[in-house]
Each structure stands twice: as C-alpha cells, then as structure tokens.
Structure 1
C-alpha cells in the first residue's frame, strides 16, 4: 500500500469547512444551524450543527484528550448574553453570525491541521462530523455482514449522513446501469467493465443498508423516540426496495446488438439465415483470431478475447452475464434477509410501544392510589 493510501485509510477526513448558516424559525425551538461540509477520499457530504454542539464538542475534547483543542472556540457575541436562550442566536445580526461562522470554520481547520493528531483522531470529533470509523476509508468496501465488516458507533447525526450518502450511491448506481445498457446496445467493449463496476457498487449498497438497519438497533438502545425510529425504519425499507429494483435491473441487461434497428436488420428478422450469413456468424473460411490493428488491439483486446472470433466473444460475454446473474441472485437473497431484519425491528418497536402503554397505565393507577393515600393521611 502506498503512503497516500495509508494516509487516506488512517485519517479519512481530508478537509472541513463551514460555508453557510441557516436561521430556523420553527417553534418551539428557533435557532441558527451552521452547515459543515466534510470531504472524504471518496465523497463529500454536509451536516448541520448548532453553536451549542460546537461548544459541547470543545468541552468533550478538552476532557477526553487531556488538553483543550489547539484553537479557541469563538465566544458568543456579548450582545446575546442578556437575551433569552432560545432567542439569542436568532436575534444576532447577519454580520455577527457571519463572524461566528468564520470563527467556527477556523476552529475546525485548526484541529484538522494541527501536528498533534489526538483531537482530530478522537472518536468524539469524528462522531461530531459523522465521519466513518478508522479503517473505513470514507465508504470503502467490506464484507457484507461477515468477517471484515467495519463496526462503528452510531449517533443520530451519523445515521442521517450515512443514509443521505447511501441514497446518493443508489442514484449513482442507477446511472452506471444506464451507461452499461447503452454500451451493451452499442456492442461496446467497455460494457463488461461497467457491469463489473455496477456489481461492486451493488454489493457495497447491500452492506451499507445492513449497517443502517443495525444502526437503528443501536439508536433504539440509546433512547431514540419510537416515532423517529419508525420513520427511519421506513426510510431503510424504501432503500431496500430501491436496491432490489436495481438488482433486477442489473440482472436483465440488454444483449449486445439488441439496439440495432436499421432497415437491413428489420428486413432479416423473420428470414432464415443464408449460407453466407451462417458462414459470417460461425467464422467459417477464416482464421478464428480477429485483427483490429495495433492501436485498437492495445486498447480493446484482452488476453481472454484476443484468440477468439466474434462468436467466441459473444459466448464469453454471455458467460460473464450468467455469472453475474448467479451473483445477483445471492444479492437478492441478502436483500430479503435485510428486509426480514427490518420487519423484525418494526415488530420489536411495536412490542416496546405496547410495553410503554402498559407502563403509562400502571403509572396512572399508582398516581390514583397515591392521591387516595394522601387523602386518608390528611383525614388521620
């Protein structure tokens, strides 16, 4: 592994910035959210954090790393000290908020650029930025649910960021499959490489959706509300359905040359092949190898296809597609297991909701008995 690869694996966060802020007036908690943009080796994403989250991060880093971060956190504007806590940030001027945004960006970059890596390498800092764990490489591949799978500590913010990243990866996979279909219809030699890229992306999507489902179990244990868990479980189920559709799309790709609709092809669709046409397709009367020229052979040919004729190349391509179909069937089975896991999560959430209802009813009964006991004590 090269030095750059080792660096990317051990420290996946490449850069961080705070490009903007947003005033949110939603009641009962109006506040200002600062947009934090994080760049990883394989993707870039954004999260939103309040100033109080930055302040909490500062104190956690100072407590867990043995020393405060290398730069000071920008203080609250003096004019906000005398305002109500919920209205303080909202009542600041745009100039004051811009000054705070620049200070927060300088503070994060100072942590990332400092020679001492203990602050930027801490799990607290990476959880704040919803960054992948050490060794994940910013979205690298791992064995789906087996050995080599990367474990991570989930937070609500990290789960949301990962869900957005998985949605983007699904859109990218759909684009890749469309490009593969166009290449197959055009009998392009790059169709196999594109199909392999799509298959790798599909395997990675299945793994990451499984991680999201496991993350919901962690968040449930951490005390996330029932309604929010239901909402996120529905998001996972929607992603699973979308990936299943992509798996079917990957398995039913068009055959090479199927898009040719010229007059000669239409006229000969229902006609039996002539002897000349049979000879052309079977390669009779000529050497089995194809000569494409030096430049073409260097860019298009591979050791597997160089010694084959056109029929052999088509047969090899069909074999590749059959292999992909068998692997996609295995992926479909894995997706079914993931959906079953989501249904189990829903059932568990429903059971917990019933237990909470029973607890509420029991609490009401105890309160009634306590009131009766207090009345009797007053009478005594």
Structure 2
C-alpha cells in the first residue's frame, strides 16, 4: 500500500442495473501505473464497517451521511451526489495519508481499491519458472524473499494479538494474509534455488554461501508455516493464589488462565512453555515490567514495536552471518595456505634426505679411493 501516491474520485455515473444507483469512479495512482475502480456508496459503508471491525478503531475520517433528508432521483439527487463526492474522496485520502498504517495496510482497503495482489503483480517484477538470474539479480530476489517472510511473521503476530483482544474477524484476516505470504515464498524459493544452479562466474566459496542463504530461507519458512498451521498462540498467564495444575480455565479466558491450561504449542508428555514447576512455590510470579519505551504505547503500538525490533534483530543477525561467513572463508583460505606450505616442507625434507644419501655415498667412494 505504500506504493499508492494518490487517490481521487474523478467522476460519477448512473448505473441502471440491478436497479438505478450512482457509482463513484475512483482513480488510484502509483509510480508505475494508474487505474480506476467504480464503487457505490454502500461499498464505502461496507469498507468502513470492515475496517472498524478488523482494526478495533474508527477510521481517521467519518463517512458522509447516507441521506440528507432522503435522496430522490432527479436534480436534487445529482446535487447531493456532487456534495458527497469530495467528502468520500477526503475519506479515502485520510486513510492513505494518516500517520498510522493500521487502516491502509488492511486487506479490505486493498480489495476495495482493487490493488493488484503480490501474486498477480509479480508476473512482471518477480521471476518466473525457468528464469535466468545474474549474480546481482539473485541477491535482490533473496532480499525480497526476506522482506516477504518478515511480512508473514508480522501477520502472525498481528493474528495472535487480535485474537487475544477477541477480534476474530481481524485475526482470521491476518492469518489468511500470513498464509498468502508463505505460499508466495514457497513458489519463489523454488525458482531461486533452481536459478542458483545456473549461475556462472561465481567462485566455489560464494556458491556455498548462497546455498546457505537458501537453506536459511527454507528453515525460516518452515518455522513460520508451523506457526500458521498450529493456530493462534496466546501467552499463558498465571495467578498467584496457589491454584493447582488442572484447575485452569479454557483458552478463551484471556488473563484468567491457570497453570493447567492446555496449549496447542505443547506435545503430550511435555511441560507447557512458561509453566511453573510442580511442587512448592514461594511467592507470586512477577508481572512484566514496563520500560520508558513501552509505557506510553497501547497494544497495537507494542505490536508494531515488537515487529520493528524483530526486523532490526533480523538485520543484525544477517550482518553477523555475513561476518561469520567472511571469517569462515578466511579460515578456509588460511587452512589451504598452511596445507600448501606443509606440502612444500615435505618436498624440501625429501630433497634433504636425497641430498644426504648422495653425500653419504660420495663420502664412502672417497674413503674407498683413499
């Protein structure tokens, strides 16, 4: 959604089917293309309701009222449509230009504007099966897949956060978005791996490094896929009143959960993550401590902070991985150099032995002549 530069309602028109109504022609502009989409007022109402339901907050600008004392066909209707047109345009632009990305990043808003999906828009920007990579384009595609995986992880975190707030609609939308990202990564990762075997003009060490990058993407995708298939993950909470295991409430009880609560993230016979040890426990569990950074934030801002922090950690981990791989290559080169020096020393030692034997033979000949 960040690629959209402008939204405007350029005209209105009357449609006779299925019954007479007015549609608003919306023009959407991006750096690479411009398209139009027609929507009636009821579509705006549905968009507003879905945004409110999925985010839990009112959109930044209100919708104009449905009627001004009742709309009727004729001149008065056209006047009121013209009055409503700039208000609807202001409504869409407020979502696009607001500081928070909460509403404009929602799938409902993209669907309302008929924004091409990643799968559809990738025909021109994403490589197809059998595509040939250059060393540089291969790295660009790898970086793009990392961004998609981060988006999938963010969607899963959003799913869990919305589920903990009993927002089932928003949680399902986030889960669908995460699975769509993971499916896209799976398709593009196969192409990336096949393209690696066709690369030329790269050394053996660089080839091994890129194979490790592909394996890293596979591992991360499989981990996120397991998270997506396991369902909503809610953090278990505990009370300090000395309840015994097995006295827990159901998974939907939120903060009232107990130690005995079942978790979809545990296997039979394994303790639940975060569970208190059995036996005697002194004192209640300490609640999480607020920091200067988290104290002024609400739940959604905390979720965004966690997402940003994870992205920074991913970048730091990638930099550390590059550093370790560089050191590994240096170690391999040093090892090869030491082996070559050892071979030279062995040759010198053999030459010294041969020379010693020849000198001994010459000395014996001289003694015999004397």
Of structures 1 and 2, the larger Rg is shown by 2
- TM-score w.r.t. the length of structure 2 is 0.33
- TM-score w.r.t. the length of structure 1 is 0.32
Q: Which has the higher contact order (CA 8 A, sep 6+)?
A: 1
